Structure formats: C-alpha cells, structure tokens
Amino acid sequence: MDKESDATTEGAAVRPVTSAPGPQNDDEFSALRAIVAGTARGTGEAFFQSLVGHLADAVDVGYAFVAEFAGARTRVRTLAHWGKGAALPGVEYDLEGTPCEDVLRGSLCHHPNAVRAKFPHDRYLVEFGIESYLGVPLLDAAGEVLGHLAVCDDRPMAARPRLLFVFRIFAARAAAELERLRVERLRAESERRYRELYEEAPNVYVSLGRDFRLLSVNRRTAQVLGREAAALVGAPVLDLFAESPAGRVRAETAFGRCFQGEDLAGLELELRRPDGSPLWVSVWMRPTRDAGGTIQAAHSIWVDVTDRVLAEMERARLQQQNLYLQEEIKSVHNFEEIVGRSPALQGVFDKVARVAPTDATVLITGETGTGKELIARAIHSRSRRAGKPLIKVNCAALPAGLVESELFGHEKGAFTGAFSRRLGRFELAEGGTLFLDEIGDLPLEAQAKLLRVLQEHEFDRVGGVSPVKADIRIIAATNRDLLQAVRAKAFREDLYYRLCVIPIALPPLRERTEDIALLVRVFVARFAAKLGKRIEGTGPETLRRLVAYSWPGNIRELENVLERAVILATSATLEIDPDVPGHAATGLPNASPLALEAVEKNHILAVLSQTGWVIEGPRGAAVRLGLHPNTLRSRLKKLGLARPTHENS
C-alpha cells in the first residue's frame, strides 16, 4: 500500500505470511498468546465474546465484533460485540453502504483511516466516530462465507503484516467455531423436528430391549394404550397383550423372531386396555445392532387398526348371521301366526305375555308338531331383544363331533380343517335370543359348556384361550321327558333346573279339539289362495272326522293333511277320504287308547309306507311330517324303526 489512507482489499491472491516471526515482533506474539489464552477453553457464545475482547485488547483497538448472516446474505447480526473495554449489545444491520459489504464478498478489507468519510451512511461508523477498519471473512471448509470478524478504532490503524497474519489465524478459528455452531444448530433443529414427529406422530413408536421390556415410548403410545408413559417405560411389553391366539402368544413368537434378525411387517396383534376393551394394532418392527453387529434392541411402529378389525369381525358375524337367516327363510315354518281360542292355549298365551319382557330362561315342552318354535318366536318378538336375531339350533341335527364348534365356534387351527376362525351360534345370537330345539339330544360334554354360559355368561371357542362374553337369552324346547332323562343320567340335573326357570307346556292338538275347526278354516284358506283354488268350506262329515282324529303329529300333521286335500280337491267343498288321515277310528271314543309313543310310531310308519321309505326330497317323509331329515332319522333310531329288509333291495 502506498498510502495509509488507501483501503486494502485482499482476495484469493493475498496469502498470509507463513515464516516464523522474529524477535522484533514480540508485540504480535504477545497479542497471539493473549488471544490463545483467552479463547482456548471457550465454545459458542462464550468463545466469540472472549475472542473479540482479547482481540481488541491485543491489537490495541477500541472495537471488535464477529457477525454472521441473518437469513438473507444482504444482512448480518453480531454474535459478539466489544467496545471501549466492555461487551456491547448485539446489533443487526444491512450490509449495503458499509465496509463489511466488501468483506462478505470473500476478501480481507483494511481501511487504515478516513473510513467514516468513505461510508457516510454507515450509522455505526458515524455514531462511534470510527476512523479505521479491518475485516476478514469467515469461511467454511468449502470456502463459503459464513460471516466476518472485524476490528475498528477511532484512531488510524497502520497496516502491520504480522498483525494481519495473527488476525487471519483467529479468523480461521472463529470460522471453524461458527461452522461448528451452524452444524450444531442444524442438528438441534433436526432433533427437535424429529422429536416433534416422534411425539406427535399419529402412530405408536416403541423401542424394546432384549428382555422384551419397553425402552422408550412416544406420547401416542400412552394415548392409545390408555396408560401413563412413565409407567410404560421399563414395563414388560407382553403384559399389554390379550390372552388370546392373536395376542400374547403371537406377539411373543413374533418378537422372538425379530431379535433373531427378522423384520416384521403388518403383523396384526390384539392388546387389552386397562378398562378391558380390545385394541388391535398392525406392527412393523426392525432389530437394531451395536458396533459389533449384535442385536441389542428393536424399534417398532404400531398402527391402531381396532376400528377396522372390529368392523371386519362384525361384518363376518353379520355375514354368517345373514347366511343363517337366509337358510331360515328358505326353511319351512309351521305358522305365521298362532291360531286357537281354547282355554289350554289361552293359558300359554298368558304365560308368554308375562315372561317375554324378562330375560328369564324358558323351557318349552310339548309333543312334536305342537308349535314350540312358534312360541319361542312369540317370546322373542315381545322381548327387549326383538331388534336382534333369534338364532335357532336343532340340537338333534348337529353333526357328530362338531357340536361344540357349531355352538361355540372355533379358532383357526383348532382342529384339522379349521382354516379360519368361525363364529358359533352363541356369538351369532349376541344381544338376541338363542333357541335350542331338541335340547334333550345335546351331548353331555356340550351340556357342561351350556351350563357355564347360563351361570357365568361366557364361553370358550374351541381352541380359544380366553373367554368370550355372552349377552343372550336362551329358550330351550324338547318333546322328551327331561326328568326321566335326568334319572337315566342322560341329562344333567343342574342344567335342567337352570333351563326350567319358566316352564311352558304346550297342549297337544287332541287336548284342544275346539281349535281344530278354526285351524281347518285358516289352513284351507291359506292353501287355496296359494294354489289359486276356490274352496268355500269343509264338508260336515270331513270336519267331524278331523275333530275325532287323535292327531299324533299334532298341528304339523293337520297342516300336511289339509294341504294335500286342497291340492286334490275338485269342488268348492273340501272333502277328505275316510282313510285320511290314517284310520279315523283311531281317534274315536270306543277305540282302545294307545301310548303316545305307539301313536307316533304308527303315524311315522304310515307316512314312510306312503313315501316308500324315502326320507329326503320334496316327496319324502320328512316334508310330509314337517321334520328336518336328520330329526326324522333321530326319531326313527329312538323308536327302533328300520326299513323292512325286503324294501332294502
């Protein structure tokens, strides 16, 4: 530089002096030692504050500051500011019109004197009466300008090469610290954002140790599980899962696989909240290893899928219920309404009206064809459960070996062929009524489970490990003498008394003969309308024979006889041949009375003879008798009836 008043700007071509200073520059070495001593242990704000204070004192200037860009590269803010022996408040200012503007373009800038006159719009220079200025850019490892270090004074500042050398050394140190701070800020911001994402994430984030204890949880975990986060950390994770095949058992197996190095993806597990409500999650899990490659923990994401899983379970239940109801619709029901005015039937109506609003268990007894199912439907339709399904189970028709599965359902894999979970009739009837017809044919093993449902209102699926709550009303029916079955050890006595809370005995048709004429009118009108025939009435002799007949098959038999008669009718007056039904003399007063079982046996044999011992199909005996084919086979076995040998060919 020719003149001290000239500004010196050094770009990339200017290099600091690298030779060791001589003895004549002891003042520069003193300055160097002072700065080193003052900043050796400091970092961050403390480092910069110490730097500018020691720098100002060492180079004998009034002011020193270090600054970084304030967002835009046209504006800076001071990180530390020293003036007249004390720390000054930080300032933020625009670069335009200041000597710092040249520095932040990447060059050392020295104005030995008259700097205030060169930058008259710089309020800082004017306010403090600054005469000289020296600034150097702070560069990162890639050469990018991060900020600058500057000293200034109200006196001229001569250009001293050794001083500039020291100044640039500490500018490099300041740049390194500034770069470190920037990286630290970025890391802190990244951690903050990660922590916010972690804590506020809509999903559960947990870490597990090798002992299956929770190492960390996010806020969502506590919300979903309904527990305090502090109580979860350190707790055994398996304690959170339900005691079910899809709960603790599956979780323990899956977590074990993860700690053997296997990733988990989309595994659905069942948990339990403190209030006992179910919680279903879809789990993703990945093991984490230490520097030696040993798995030390596992990080996991749980997505709450409870609503979807419960909706799917409800959909499956409704689908099975719908299939069942469709089968019921397709099946033949005896009546659409109860018909009769006899005192015996009116007594039944009165009892139905009184018991229907309660949840009491009802046992309906009566001969085959007396309308036990119809009475069960009447009880259900007048109960508070009328909006829920009435599920019917014919205990005599349940497949051998699958009784418990049909009633209580089974879990996937419970037995050979159990490829998926199946809901039993008890779950299909949830909230409604379960009608157990032919309860006397229920196996003893299933009777024990039914007793548990009545006592504890819960049951176990086949292959299940946790009980299923049951909110159902049970109505049972039988045409057998259950007390005799109890004495014969074929029926549990305790179950009998549990079922027989409200007994309803249906009278056979022969004990309510005053209802036969009314039933004939109702059935004839119904069948005539269905077949498009005009039937104005029934012949007196025909009606007399119908009233006199004993009707071992009861109303079901009467219905079948009348339907056949309407089909064959050729005139407006219904007439029935004297040999139909059976032999009329069977029911006349002078006929010798037969035991009920003998009457039933004779009637079934007569129908089988008419059908050629064909049981199933539209022309089979089961249809004529109004029985399910399996029920008819069961009755044949109990009555000791078998097809004659000469008809087996």
pLDDT tens digits for range 157-182? 888 777 777 777 778 888 888 888 88
What's the pLDDT band for 143 if we cut at 50, 70, 90? Answer: confident
More confident residue, 474 or 408: 474
Average pLDDT over residues 429-445: 90
Specify whether the CB–CB gap between 590 and 597 falls below 8 A: no
What's the pLDDT band for 354 if we cut at 50, 70, 90? Answer: very high
What is the pLDDT at residue 150? 93
What is the pLDDT at residue 318? 75
Helix (H) or strand (E) holding 317: helix 306-330
Look at the pTM and tell me if it is higher than 0.85.
no
Least confident of 196-205, 276-285, 308-317, 625-634: 196-205
Average pLDDT over residues 345-363: 91
Phi first, then psi: give them for residue 125, nearest 5 degrees: -65, -40
pLDDT at 236 over 50: yes
Pick from 193, 217, 206, 218: nearest CA to 288:
206
What is the pLDDT at residue 336? 41
Average pLDDT over the chain, rounded to whole?
Answer: 82
One DSSP character per residue, 19-74 reads SPP-GGGHHHHHHHHHHHHHHTT--HHHHHHHHHHHHHHHTT-SEEEEEEEESEEE
Strand partners, 216: 207
What's the pLDDT band for 3 if we cut at 50, 70, 90? Answer: very low
More confident residue, 187 or 492: 492
| Cα 386 to Cα 195: distance, rounded to the nearest angstrom | 53
Percent of the chain clearing pLDDT 70 (strictly above): 85
What's the pLDDT band for 205 if we cut at 50, 70, 90? Answer: confident
Strand partners, 153: 132
Strand partners, 137: 148
Distances (CA, A) of 514 to 370, 425, 525, 537, 583: 15, 39, 18, 17, 21
User: In this predicted model, what pLDDT tens digit does every residue of 248-284 receive, in sequence order?
Assistant: 999 999 999 999 999 999 899 999 999 988 999 999 9
pLDDT at 310 over 60: yes
Average pLDDT over residues 204-230: 89
Average pLDDT over residues 313-340: 62
In terms of Cβ atoms closer than 10 Å to its own Cβ (0-12, 13-18, 19+), residue 247 is buried
One DSSP character per residue, 349-368 reads HHHHHHHTTS---EEEE--T
User: In this predicted model, what pLDDT tens digit does every residue of 516-551 receive, in sequence order?
Assistant: 988 998 899 889 888 888 888 888 888 899 998 999
Percent of the chain clearing pLDDT 90 (strictly above): 29
User: In this predicted model, what pLDDT tens digit does every residue of 566-602 receive, in sequence order?
Assistant: 988 888 888 888 766 654 434 444 334 445 567 778 7
What is the pLDDT at residue 180? 84
What's the pLDDT band for 58 if we cut at 50, 70, 90? Answer: confident
Least confident of 101-110, 404-413, 445-454, 576-585: 576-585
More confident residue, 626 or 34: 626
Q: Structure tokens of 441?
A: 């044919």
pLDDT at 436 over 60: yes
Least confident of 68-72, 210-214, 335-339, 418-422: 335-339
User: In this predicted model, what pLDDT tens digit does every residue of 94-127 receive, in sequence order?
Assistant: 999 999 988 888 888 999 999 999 999 998 899 8
Among 14-23, 249-258, 340-349, name the most confident range: 249-258
| Cα 473 to Cα 431: distance, rounded to the nearest angstrom | 8
Q: Structure tokens of 369?
A: 């064809």
Q: Structure tokens of 24?
A: 């004549």
More confident residue, 448 or 637: 448
More confident residue, 30 or 186: 186
pLDDT at 647 over 90: no
Name the 3-class secondary structure at 392.
strand
| Cα 519 to Cα 335: distance, rounded to the nearest angstrom | 11
Least confident of 8-17, 103-112, 363-372: 8-17
Average pLDDT over residues 342-353: 88
Specify whether the CB–CB gap between 102 and 8 falls below 8 A: no
What is the pLDDT at residue 444? 87
| Cα 201 to Cα 152: distance, rounded to the nearest angstrom | 52
